[in-house]
Structure 1
Amino acid sequence: YLSQGKEARRLGVLSARMESFSGNYGDPGEVLGVSGEDLLIACRQGALRLRMVQPEGKASMKAKDFFNGQSRLVSKLF
């Protein structure tokens, strides 16, 4: 992932699932936002729902908590 004003760092995906829906909601890899406890990442068809992640050098956490700790993550690309 790419933080505002910082170098790119890895984000481990520990738990995720695909979400199918019709329509185009963003470019593949684009952060769409949070839905419930999941962080939604646009795919060519549907979205990837990240449930648990592990930022580089940090402990694992809920994707929602990761999102809440990042400023301006919506519309950024993985």
Structure 2
Amino acid sequence: MPISIRLPEEIEQRLTALAEQTGRTKTFYIREAVLEYLEDLEDIYLAEKRLADIKAGKSRTYTLEEVEKRLGLED
């Protein structure tokens, strides 16, 4: 799926230089960057959403003891 992005000129220049020096495309490096950091971004934003839900009373937390009991892992 094609996607267009606008990058600051400095980043565009760095990306162009990297592509030229390595013989790879700018698209290759953009794809690599997205793949490398997407999981981290998902973790961050989903954790922030979960925290907001807990603070708003829309979700709750569980103690380790509650989880162990529910999963039958009690000592």
Bigger Rg, structure 1 or 2? 2
Task: Say which structure is richer in strand.
Answer: 1
In the superposition, the TM-score normalised over structure 1's length comes to: 0.23
Q: TM-score, normalised by structure 2?
A: 0.23
Which fold has the larger relative contact order, with Cα–Cα distance below 8 Å and residues 6 or more apart in sequence? 1
**Higher helix proportion (structure 1 or 2):** 2
